[in-house]
Amino acid sequence: DAMVIQNPRYQVTQFGKPVTLSCSQTLNHNVMYWYQQKSSQAPKLLFHYYDKDFNNEADTPDNFQSRRPNTSFCFLDIRSPGLGDAAMYLCATSREAGGEQYFGPGTRLTVT
Amino acid sequence: GENVEQHPSTLSVQEGDSAVIKCTYSDSASNYFPWYKQELGKRPQLIIDIRSNVGEKKDQRIAVTLNKTAKHFSLHITETQPEDSAVYFCAAFEVGGAQKLVFGQGTRLTINP
């Protein structure tokens, strides 16, 4: 009965080697979010989509991009990962802006 | 934009005692205030939330209070148990601009048996 699914759960990539993280949802929610979380810090919003409308946080590095090809799926692309990009990446959804956010289990990214 | 401050950053209480975590926010237009619990290595999970038209909400041992005038809200956990040990995050929903949750810095709560 998983509602927000993230794959893979663990990802190891080399410095500078592009990587894509995926998120899918069975809730049919309009809004999808990508957060970056480093150890014991608050989740940091990278992007969110309200339906197909893309919203980029001002301080999200250009190295990060996102795609939402349909309601159910959302992808996070890191074009040239650096050591500082090692983190937990959390996907979340909500039915509407200002609604309860449901988080996926996260993908832990390691950069070697 | 919205700014959320959370205190304390760490809190240690004896099992059975109460724990209180406080947050302040800056944007009076913010209208939704969730609290998330995150255990080590797991996803944040919503434990309780409150909207700006309500002053208090309770769910068993957990309660949240909201003071809109003072722009602060608090999480109260009574009869604490070891499984309450986790990091707790408050958040405020920024209505204008980006329409997003702005999180507090988190509180690491430890329940001592």
SS3 string, B75-112, reads EEECCCCHHHCEEEEEEEEECCCCCEEEECCCEEEEEE
Other CB atoms within 10 A of residue A79 CB: 14
The three-point CA angle A6-A11-A17 to 5° equals 120
Q: Is residue B6 within 8 Å of B62, Cβ to Cβ?
A: no
**CB-based contact B46 A104, cutoff 8 Å:** no
Gap from A21 CA to chain B (nearest CA, Å): 16
Average pLDDT, whole number, for chain A? 94
Q: B65-79 pLDDT, tens per residue?
A: 999 999 999 999 999
Count Cβ–Cβ pairs < 8 Å, chain A vs chain B.
48
Residue range B55-70: mean pLDDT, rounded: 96
Do the Cβ atoms of A103 and B43 come within 8 Å?
yes
Tens digit of each residue's pLDDT (9 = 90 or more) over A63-83: 999 999 999 999 999 999 999
Q: Are B67 and B25 in contact (CB under 8 A)?
A: no
Over residues A4-17, mean pLDDT: 96
Q: pLDDT grade, residue B96 (50/70/90)?
A: confident
Out of A41, A42, A104, closest to residue B43 by CB: A104
- Whether chain A has a CB inside 8 Å of the CB on B89: the answer is yes
* For testing contact with chain A, the best of B32, B100, B107 (most A CBs within 10 A): B100
CB A27 within 8 A of CB A95: yes
Q: What confidence tier does B1 reach under pLDDT thresholds 50, 70, 90?
A: confident
Whether residue A58 has pLDDT greater than 90: no
| Segment among A36-40, A99-103, B57-61, B97-101 with least mean pLDDT | B97-101
Question: Residue B24's closest CA among B41, B42, B8, B4?
Answer: B4
Residue B72 in contact with residue B4, Cβ under 8 Å? no
Q: Which two tokens stand for residue B111?
A: 């329940």
Q: Which positions ≥6 away from A91 have C-beta within 8 Å? A: A4, A6, A21, A23, A25, A32, A33, A34, A35, A74, A76, A103, A104, A106
How much is the pLDDT for A52?
A: 87
Average pLDDT, chain B: 95
Asked whether the beta carbons of residue A43 and residue B44 sit closer than 8 angstroms, the reply is yes
Instruction: Tell me how far the alpha carbon of residue A36 is from its chain's centroid.
Output: 7
> Mean pLDDT throughout B75-102?
93
The alpha carbon dihedral of B105, A4, A22, B42 has a sign of: positive
Peptide bond into B34 cis (omega under 30): no
